[in-house]
Amino acid sequence: MKLAVLVNEGPYTHQASDTAYLFTRAALEKGHEIFRVFFYHDGVNNGTRLTVPPQDDRNIVKRWTELAEKHKLDLVVCIAAAQRRGILDENEAKRQGKDANNIAPGFRISGLGQLIEAGIQADRLVTFGD
């Protein structure tokens, strides 16, 4: 089955981000295809490379990055939600006149069209968070 995943909550705020990660990993292990993981609303905070959890805590951003690298996942962060929360890639930082970017490895910034496409292309769109 081809799945798309929508993450609407940030890491360390609610269980949604952890559950989305665990679901995605389990689906891949069972042989399902993940068309795209789309991060929206506060979920875009999963894509910042500046997250530094305590050493004895899970590093959700790193987990997503490693899963994307291992399985060639498309991790897309909504551009409008990201800009509101100060998450920028190199191109957006330049375009907005900022001197730095903070997108985590494996993530990319794009628009809501990527969510629409995921919903069309996948057999199921699974949503985590409000």
Residues annotated as catalytic are 78
In whole angstroms, how far apart are CA 13 and each of 16, 88, 113, 129? 8, 21, 26, 10
CA distance 23 to 18: 9
CA distance 104 to 50: 8
